[in-house]
Amino acid sequence: MSTVRTEQIGDVLLIEINNPPINAGSLTVRQGLSAAIEQLQTQPELVAGVIIGGGTTFVAGSDLREFGQPLQDPQMPAVIALIEACGKPVVAALHGAALGGGLELALACDARIALNGTLLGLPEVTLGIIPGAGGTQRLPRRVGVARAIQMVCSGERITADKALDLRLVDEVVAGDLQAHAMALARRLAGSKCRIRDEQVPTEDAAAIEQAEQTALRAGKRRPAVLAAIAAVKNAALLPIDEGLAHERAVFQQLRVSTEAYALRHQFFAEREAAKLPAALQAAPRPVQTVAVIGAGTMGAGIAICALDAGLNVILLEQDDVALQRGQQRVAEHYQSRVTAGKMKANVAAASEGRLSPTTDWAQLGRADLVIEAVFEDMAVKQEVFRKIDAHARPGAVLATNTSYLDVDAIAGLTARPQDVLGLHFFSPANVMKLLEVVRGQQTAADVLATGMALGKKLGKLPVLCGNTFGFIGNRIYNAYRKQCEFMLEDGAWPEDVDKALTDFGLAMGPFAVADLSGLDIAWRMRKAQAASRDPRERYVAILDQLCEQGRLGRKTGAGYYRYPDGKQVKATDAIVRAIIEQASGQRGITRRTLDATEIQRRALLAMVNEAALLLAEGVAARPSDIDVVLVQGYGFPRWEGGPVFWARQQDRAQLAQDLQRLAGESGHGFVVADLSVLLNP
Ligand code: NAD
């Protein structure tokens, strides 16, 4: 089927792109557009053209699957060259979104008219590439180099109103977009207005420098960010054809880089993760009212994101003092959003208006879904679930936000284990996108579907997990942290490990993370597990000793690191080093230097091994789900694609050899996984 339809309306040619769902600028679209412009050029009775998107959007991006292969002609720059060379004006009529190649196409037209609410942006850098069809050359000719650097490097999407202020669009309209665009095209008949002929506005060099520095910091100096800055600056330095040729060459180079593959992998992995495997698909139960039990750190955050999604929220606490504290958290959040200009006061008030704080359990009867977020203590959770079971209406979905506890043991306390599942949010719950949706042994398919649907409604990335200690994320993180502790005993200092891993790209090193979350959480869990621990297992007691000395992390001013005035001292102090040296001595280890490469490989392999075990156990449904969890929830660098993607880039024989060595270094209890479950896509 043709993806571009033309229709002669009077003396104007309407060119409509129909390539659902996003009207991507795929090969057939480019062919269709080329033919349509040819028609416009050659039919003498036509005076102008209008390019419009059929359905819900203009061109909202490219077909990313094409990017991994040789691109077929005509490519987008050739289509754009035809539009610019055409003797008759072409108007781009925008609605929905004009992103990436879509915005580049629009910028090649003689005018742009947008429906109120349209979003415009160039997100290429977030996919490890740069705009390749003139975006870096035409955008700065309208908005200036500094603003273009900001937009291109961040992938920012701006609204039509903002685009009008920036002269990126010429008109913003409401109502019948096509009619407005046709009228504009007729008014332009006989003229040509190409952005390529315009000069880049003169600007303050300091403003450009500042935009550049901000982009470099935010983009962690990734290759695409550096390349995008250089390309945009070319717009002011080179004739446009040279600037375009340079941009295209860099685009072609970057699109086949490992980084771009990794980012595309993560993009597809996120979409895939949100879908339940075919065997588990069912219609979700309707959810309009959610009850959140516990208004602490997590409960308040969960309540906020449910309110933001337009749901009614019953927030239940054990007493008035705790309830007021929770209510205060929610109120402060909205106040700060309004003060920062990120939310309109009436929108914030409407959200808060849907909150019903209570200490009355009978209120649960109104909820379609209940999320428990009380202390991480089985006895407390059991007591709470008994009450939930007594008050929730039949058919309500019952969820626990536990981080580690057994969802089946919790479900088993109710008379309706089929209605129970885990919904593991990440902190801060109103910010972090990851949501682990935990399937208990008896969880019904429609309950699982409800969990996934709720995640999407809340703007999260829901990932299906089996019920195991720590689910996907915390179980892999524990294996990784354990390996990092082994490396302390083997000869590294915490700062060596943290630096090697932040150099790899992790947002924070494991010991800085431990200090931030508080060592006492892990300490409590270790004590609880002490009786069941196999004495032959390699157990690193450094953390316990730090806790015994009152070093519980940032909140006590010291943990692995010291924090005078709240700021981390980069190197560990003599007390910590003495504890670590003593631990090495007790294990009979002669301390040696571990370089960054060894630290990175050991830490990553520990993750990869645990990931393979999780897959073999069926806890994770797909290898790519693991990458989504680690990137979205644990600061794993997105441009490395996740641990599974990383492993697939390694030499297999070397990986197997390193894993054997890791097993030796890790000692008794380390289970070597069969990596083939995740290496073969
Ligand atoms: P928190 O201590 O901040 O809040 C717990 C709240 O539960 C308190 O306000 C308390 O008053 C309330 N509560 C306790 N018993 C109650 C009862 N019987 N009835 C009603 N309310 C009761 O804890 P948190 O950090 O918000 O953690 C809550 C849950 O979320 C835990 O299971 C935790 O493992 C999990 N979790 C925490 C994080 C995190 O980073 N903090 C992340 C993911 C999951």
Residues 6+ away with beta carbon under 8 Å from 69: none
pLDDT of residue 184: 98
Q: Is the pLDDT of residue 135 over 80?
A: yes
pLDDT of residue 69: 87
Nearest CA to ligand 1 atom 29: 373
* 269's tokens: 């992995």
Query: Best substitution site from 375, 423, 432, 434 to test ligand 1's pocket, by max atoms within 8 Å of Cβ?
Result: 375
The pLDDT tens digits for 139-172 are 999 999 999 999 999 999 999 999 999 999 999 9
User: Is there an atom of ligand 1 within 6 Å of 297 CB?
Assistant: yes
User: Is there an atom of ligand 1 within 6 Å of 373 CB?
Assistant: yes
**Across residues 570-577, what is the average pLDDT?**
96
- pLDDT band of residue 68 (cuts 50, 70, 90) is confident
Closest by CA position to 465, among listed 456, 478, 452, 453: 452
The pLDDT tens digits for 230-239 are 999 999 999 9
- pLDDT band of residue 67 (cuts 50, 70, 90) is confident
User: Is there an atom of ligand 1 within 6 Å of 403 CB?
Assistant: yes
pLDDT of residue 398: 98
**Stretch (H or E) spanning 389:** helix 378-391
**Across residues 519-544, what is the average pLDDT?**
93
- Residues 351 and 271 sit within 8 Å (Cβ to Cβ): no
How far is Cα 664 from Cα 681, in angstroms, rounded to an integer?
28
User: Is there an atom of ligand 1 within 6 Å of 322 CB?
Assistant: yes
Query: Best substitution site from 328, 384, 391, 403 to test ligand 1's pocket, by max atoms within 8 Å of Cβ?
Result: 403
Nearest CA to ligand 1 atom 38: 427
Q: Which atom of ligand 1 is nearest to the CA of 325?
A: 9
Cα 581 to ligand 1 centroid, rounded to whole Å:
37
**Across residues 651-675, what is the average pLDDT?**
96
Cα 66 to ligand 1 centroid, rounded to whole Å:
46
User: Is there an atom of ligand 1 within 6 Å of 423 CB?
Assistant: no
Cα 296 to ligand 1 centroid, rounded to whole Å:
5
The pLDDT tens digits for 465-486 are 999 999 999 999 999 999 999 9
Q: Which atom of ligand 1 is nearest to the CA of 383?
A: 18
How far is Cα 191 from Cα 185, in angstroms, rounded to an integer?
10
Cα 32 to ligand 1 centroid, rounded to whole Å:
57
User: Is there an atom of ligand 1 within 6 Å of 375 CB?
Assistant: yes
User: Is there an atom of ligand 1 within 6 Å of 295 CB?
Assistant: yes
Following DSSP, what letter does each residue of 432-496 receive, concatenated?
--EEEEEEPTT--HHHHHHHHHHHHHTT-EEEEEES-TTTTHHHHHHHHHHHHHHHHHHT--HHH
Q: Is the pLDDT of residue 619 over 80?
A: yes
Residues 6+ away with beta carbon under 8 Å from 66: 26, 27, 72
Cα 134 to ligand 1 centroid, rounded to whole Å:
51
Query: Best substitution site from 292, 293, 297, 325 to test ligand 1's pocket, by max atoms within 8 Å of Cβ?
Result: 297
User: Is there an atom of ligand 1 within 6 Å of 377 CB?
Assistant: no
pLDDT of residue 600: 98
Q: Is the pLDDT of residue 113 over 80?
A: yes
Residue 323's alpha-carbon distances to 17, 277, 349, 451, in angstroms, are 53, 39, 19, 26
Q: Which atom of ligand 1 is nearest to the CA of 316?
A: 20
Nearest CA to ligand 1 atom 36: 403
Q: Is the pLDDT of residue 40 over 90?
A: yes
User: Is there an atom of ligand 1 within 6 Å of 376 CB?
Assistant: yes
- Residues 125 and 62 sit within 8 Å (Cβ to Cβ): no
Tokens 């929770």 found at? 326
pLDDT of residue 65: 87
Q: Is the pLDDT of residue 1 over 80?
A: no
User: Is there an atom of ligand 1 within 6 Å of 293 CB?
Assistant: yes
User: Is there an atom of ligand 1 within 6 Å of 125 CB?
Assistant: no
pLDDT of residue 220: 85
Q: Which atom of ligand 1 is nearest to the CA of 381?
A: 18
Residues 6+ away with beta carbon under 8 Å from 53: 16, 17, 23, 59, 93, 94, 95, 96
User: Is there an atom of ligand 1 within 6 Å of 400 CB?
Assistant: no
User: Is there an atom of ligand 1 within 6 Å of 402 CB?
Assistant: yes
Cα 376 to ligand 1 centroid, rounded to whole Å:
6
Q: Is the pLDDT of residue 681 over 80?
A: no
Return the amino acid letter for 39: Q
- For 87, phi then psi, to 5°, come to -75, -5
- pLDDT band of residue 561 (cuts 50, 70, 90) is very high
How far is Cα 115 from Cα 180, in angstroms, rounded to an integer?
10
The pLDDT tens digits for 321-363 are 999 999 999 999 999 999 999 999 999 999 999 999 999 999 9
Nearest CA to ligand 1 atom 1: 296
- pLDDT band of residue 521 (cuts 50, 70, 90) is confident
Question: In this predicted complex, what is the ipTM?
Answer: 0.98
Following DSSP, what letter does each residue of 239-295 receive, concatenated?
-HHHHHHHHHHHHHHHHTSHHHHHHHHHHHHHHHHTSPPGGG--PPPP-SEEEEE--
* 523's tokens: 């300490």
Nearest CA to ligand 1 atom 12: 294
- Cβ atoms within 10 Å, residue 349: 12
Q: Is the pLDDT of residue 560 over 90?
A: yes
Q: Which atom of ligand 1 is nearest to the CA of 402?
A: 32
User: Is there an atom of ligand 1 within 6 Å of 299 CB?
Assistant: yes
The pLDDT tens digits for 259-313 are 999 999 999 999 999 999 999 999 999 999 999 999 999 999 999 999 999 999 9
- For 628, phi then psi, to 5°, come to -65, -45
User: Is there an atom of ligand 1 within 6 Å of 410 CB?
Assistant: no
User: Is there an atom of ligand 1 within 6 Å of 317 CB?
Assistant: yes
Q: Is the pLDDT of residue 539 over 80?
A: yes
**Across residues 452-470, what is the average pLDDT?**
97
Cα 294 to ligand 1 centroid, rounded to whole Å:
6
Cα 381 to ligand 1 centroid, rounded to whole Å:
10
Cα 12 to ligand 1 centroid, rounded to whole Å:
63
pLDDT of residue 483: 98
The pLDDT tens digits for 168-226 are 999 999 999 999 999 999 999 999 999 999 999 999 999 999 999 999 999 888 999 99
Total count of residues recorded for the chain: 681
